[in-house]
């Protein structure tokens, strides 16, 4: 039997896979199937849509399909076997790996463009999480018990048909009541065993997969299968946000170092997806623009880098929050896969960045780019985010939900202020590279001339966090430098060093991000990692460099004693940063700069932008973007009257 040959799809058609019953041979019978074409919008189409993590594509299994054979991954094979065993009749399934001709790029784009409707019109969406393992049955039984207890509590409210927001508020209150103590939360379950099972369950790949976002958001009826068990699809947000928080459950205690990143990413993504699904059900899709979705789901994973964008296009509402047509115009206000580069990661991400610039959200894009390892790739434009990378830092211009309303280094925050002038242009010496040069209006004001110590944190699962102790040590060293080199001149703000150190450690924050709502903090994904940093802060003082430094040890203990009031502010401020001294021709400053900063890098203030940026000068007169920074004494526009703005080009 040869390979299966696909017949081209007509407009509006999809393929559906029909799995034949196993018959008398039972589970040992080989899989046999047929592929048929159906018109998606026609009445009476009875199929279920399957969502799963593809898994290892190097290990393939034959699937007899019509007169040919298709190769499928182990995970898809397990899912099809599980579905076949659930009924004695045929099973009609839409599964992307076989229902889309993966070798036909044009067909893939057309099917991606309607995938939202494929899942939305399915009679049910089935999520296959994999075979039972790592005590997954215990995790599912616990989630199901919470779900049942919740339904019993809110039965009267459900019958009253309350508005969605009111019902959500009541549900959250009851879930929090379950977590008033661990005995109430776990009831007949062993807490340690249950938590270990939950951690292993949340480490499964599907919870981090980029394509699962669209699936969960648009599917009207979704169920999850793990081995022989079915589990509730809406467990994540109420359990982790309300019940565990109320019972003071510390996941760090149960998560092995090797799984920490996977578990926290899975939990974060599922809580975000649940929020978005709720909005979708209410018909409230405003604000779900592509740029925002890329920010929210930056840690999601996919096999092909370009799928990071394609997986979100179908549920996006425009390019960005600020829909402003440029003088050159946009090809479309609504993102479309047909207008995008199809296979090249760099070209696609540059294209998306250009559209975000044209829609008027250049400063947010600039800040997002600073969170990538762009400087290690010389051909990658330093102002373009690499959406496949986990963020290295938080954004100083995005500490709060009121984006860009906090600092005003580049100008006042009047409601009618002009937008920053960001424009992508071609390099005349390399026109084939496209519009890869960013042209901005700004002023170089300072140069980095002293950098503090920076060593990677020793906290497992949080490799990008700067050492809190390093930054404290550096700031105290800068105080001695001030006394010895600058003749104890007062700092330009007139504040004492004790106050300066405190403000810099918070990067000027005056409120906790949590005071602006949970999502304003949670969406950047630093919470659990920051807690780890502070949990081990005292251990870090055992480093021989600091063991006898009573001032450092005292500072660490002071911050630890004041948790949680300091933890999130300081965690957001120091993550991925190093302390630095910068200078202009007349004044020295202290602040926090990206960990990749080098001596000789320049501090630049862009007109009307919230925060300064570190730029690396090139021999051709252009710059590379290093990242955003906090320089104490310039964040409120103190230098504006003395600035001479000019055009700056960034490669």
When pLDDT is cut at 50, 70 and 90, the band that residue 531 belongs to is very low
Residue 229: phi and psi, rounded to 5, are: -110, 150
pLDDT at residue 126 in the model: 96
pLDDT at residue 330 in the model: 40
* CA–CA separation, 420 and 422 (whole Å): 6
User: Where do runs of H (alpha helix) occur along 222-289?
Assistant: 236-237, 244-246, 260-282
pLDDT at residue 367 in the model: 82
Question: Which positions ≥6 away from 212 have C-beta within 8 Å?
Answer: 51, 127, 206, 273
* CA–CA separation, 436 and 351 (whole Å): 9
- In 404-562, where do the E strands start and end? 423-425, 437-451
- Among 348-362, 401-415, 511-525, top mean pLDDT goes to 348-362
Q: How confident is the model over 82-110, as pLDDT tens digits?
A: 999 988 899 999 999 999 999 998 999 89
pLDDT at residue 278 in the model: 79
pLDDT at residue 233 in the model: 66
- Among 130-144, 236-250, 263-277, 521-535, top mean pLDDT goes to 130-144
pLDDT at residue 289 in the model: 84
Count of Cβ atoms closer than 10 Å to residue 220 Cβ:
13
307-311, 380-384, 390-394, 422-426: least confidently modelled range: 390-394
Mean pLDDT, residues 58-73: 92
Q: Are 589 and 481 in contact (CB under 8 A)?
A: no
pLDDT of 229 higher than 90:
yes
When pLDDT is cut at 50, 70 and 90, the band that residue 371 belongs to is confident
pLDDT at residue 201 in the model: 93
pLDDT at residue 285 in the model: 66
Q: Are 574 and 466 in contact (CB under 8 A)?
A: yes
199-213, 382-396, 456-470, 498-512: least confidently modelled range: 456-470
442 or 396, which is more confident? Answer: 442
pLDDT at residue 238 in the model: 65
Averaged confidence pLDDT in the chain: 79
pLDDT of 323 higher than 60:
no
pLDDT at residue 234 in the model: 65
Give the residue extent of every domain in the chain.
Answer: 13-128, 136-282
Question: Which positions ≥6 away from 589 have C-beta within 8 Å?
Answer: 446, 492, 581, 582, 583, 631, 632, 633, 634
Mean pLDDT, residues 121-127: 94
Mean pLDDT, residues 245-265: 78
Count of Cβ atoms closer than 10 Å to residue 474 Cβ:
22
Tokens standing for 351? Answer: 């294209």
Tokens standing for 114? Answer: 């309607």
* CA–CA separation, 221 and 110 (whole Å): 24
Q: How confident is the model over 24-64, as pLDDT tens digits?
A: 677 778 899 999 999 998 887 889 999 999 888 888 999 99
pLDDT at residue 62 in the model: 93
pLDDT at residue 549 in the model: 54
* CA–CA separation, 546 and 100 (whole Å): 59
pLDDT of 558 higher than 50:
yes
Mean pLDDT, residues 602-606: 95
32 or 286, which is more confident? Answer: 32
Residue 489: phi and psi, rounded to 5, are: -60, 140
pLDDT of 512 higher than 50:
no
When pLDDT is cut at 50, 70 and 90, the band that residue 641 belongs to is confident
Tokens standing for 377? Answer: 């790739």
* CA–CA separation, 29 and 640 (whole Å): 76
- In 396-502, where do the E strands start and end? 423-425, 437-451
For residue 417, the surrounding DSSP H or E stretch is: none
For residue 564, whether the previous peptide bond is cis, meaning omega lies within 30 degrees of 0, is yes
Question: Which positions ≥6 away from 510 have C-beta within 8 Å?
Answer: none
pLDDT of 411 higher than 50:
yes
Query: Considering only CA atoms, which of 220, 216, 197 is closest in space to residue 207?
Result: 216
pLDDT at residue 298 in the model: 85
When pLDDT is cut at 50, 70 and 90, the band that residue 530 belongs to is very low
pLDDT of 431 higher than 80:
no
């Amino acid at each position: 039997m040869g390979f299966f040959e696909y017949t081209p799809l007509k407009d509006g058609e999809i393929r559906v896979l029909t799995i034949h019953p196993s018959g008398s041979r039972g589970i040992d019978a080989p899989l046999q199937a047929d592929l048929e074409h159906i018109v998606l919008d026609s009445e009476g189409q009875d199929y279920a849509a399957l969502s799963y993590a593809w898994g290892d594509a190097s290990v393939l299994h034959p699937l007899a399909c019509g007169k040919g054979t298709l190769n499928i991954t182990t995970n898809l094979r397990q899912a099809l076997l599980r579905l076949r065993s659930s009924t004695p009749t045929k099973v009609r399934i839409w599964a992307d790996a076989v229902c889309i001709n993966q070798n036909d790029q044009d067909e893939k784009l057309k099917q991606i463009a309607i995938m939202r409707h494929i899942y939305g019109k399915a009679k049910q969406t089935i999520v296959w999480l994999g075979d039972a393992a790592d005590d997954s049955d215990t995790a599912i039984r616990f989630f199901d018990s919470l779900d049942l207890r919740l339904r019993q509590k809110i039965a009267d409210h459900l019958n009253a048909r309350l508005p969605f927001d009111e019902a959500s508020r009541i549900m959250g209150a009851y879930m929090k009541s379950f977590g008033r103590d661990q005995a109430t939360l776990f009831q007949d379950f062993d807490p340690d065993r249950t938590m270990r099972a939950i951690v292993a369950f949340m480490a499964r790949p599907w919870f981090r997969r980029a394509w699962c976002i669209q699936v969960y958001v648009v599917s009207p009826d979704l169920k999850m299968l793990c081995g022989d068990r079915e589990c509730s699809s809406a467990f994540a947000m109420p359990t982790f946000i309300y019940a565990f928080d109320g019972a003071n459950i510390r996941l760090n205690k149960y998560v092995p170092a090797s799984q920490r990143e996977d578990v926290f990413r899975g939990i974060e993504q599922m809580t975000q997806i649940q929020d978005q699904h709720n909005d979708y059900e209410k018909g409230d899709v405003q604000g779900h623009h592509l740029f925002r979705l890329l920010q929210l789901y930056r840690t999601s994973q996919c096999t092909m880098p370009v799928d990071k964008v394609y997986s979100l296009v179908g549920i996006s509402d425009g390019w960005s929050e600020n829909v402003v047509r440029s003088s050159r115009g946009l090809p479309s206000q609504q993102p479309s896969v047909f207008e995008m580069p199809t296979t090249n990661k760099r070209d696609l991400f540059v294209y998306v960045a250009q559209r975000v610039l044209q829609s008027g959200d250049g400063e947010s894009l600039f800040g997002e780019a600073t969170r990538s390892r762009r400087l290690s790739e010389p051909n990658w434009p330093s102002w373009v985010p690499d959406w496949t990378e986990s963020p290295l830092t938080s954004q100083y211009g995005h500490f709060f939900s009121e984006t860009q309303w906090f600092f005003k280094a580049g100008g006042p925050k009047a409601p009618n202020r002009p937008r920053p002038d960001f424009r992508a242009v071609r390099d005349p010496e390399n026109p084939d590279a496209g519009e890869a040069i960013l042209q901005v209006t700004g002023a170089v004001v300072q140069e980095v001339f002293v950098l503090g110590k920076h060593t990677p944190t020793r906290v497992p699962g949080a490799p990008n966090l700067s050492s809190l102790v390093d930054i404290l040590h550096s700031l105290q060293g800068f105080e001695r430098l001030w006394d010895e080199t600058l003749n104890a001149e007062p700092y330009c703000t007139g504040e004492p060093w004790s106050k300066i150190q405190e403000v810099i450690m918070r990067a000027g924050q005056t409120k906790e991000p949590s005071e602006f709502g949970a999502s304003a903090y949670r969406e950047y994904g630093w919470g659990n990692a920051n807690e780890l940093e502070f949990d081990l802060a005292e251990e870090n003082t055992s480093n021989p460099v600091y063991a006898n430094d009573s001032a450092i040890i005292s500072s660490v203990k002071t911050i630890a004693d004041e948790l949680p009031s300091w933890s999130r502010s300081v965690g957001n401020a120091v993550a991925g940063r190093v302390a630095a001294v910068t200078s202009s021709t007349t004044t020295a400053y202290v602040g926090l700069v990206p960990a990749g900063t080098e001596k000789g890098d320049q501090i630049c203030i862009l007109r009307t932008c919230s925060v300064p940026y570190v730029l690396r000068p090139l021999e051709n007169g252009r710059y590379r973007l290093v990242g955003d920074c906090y320089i104490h004494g310039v964040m409120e526009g103190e230098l504006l009257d003395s600035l001479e703005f000019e055009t700056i080009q960034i490669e």
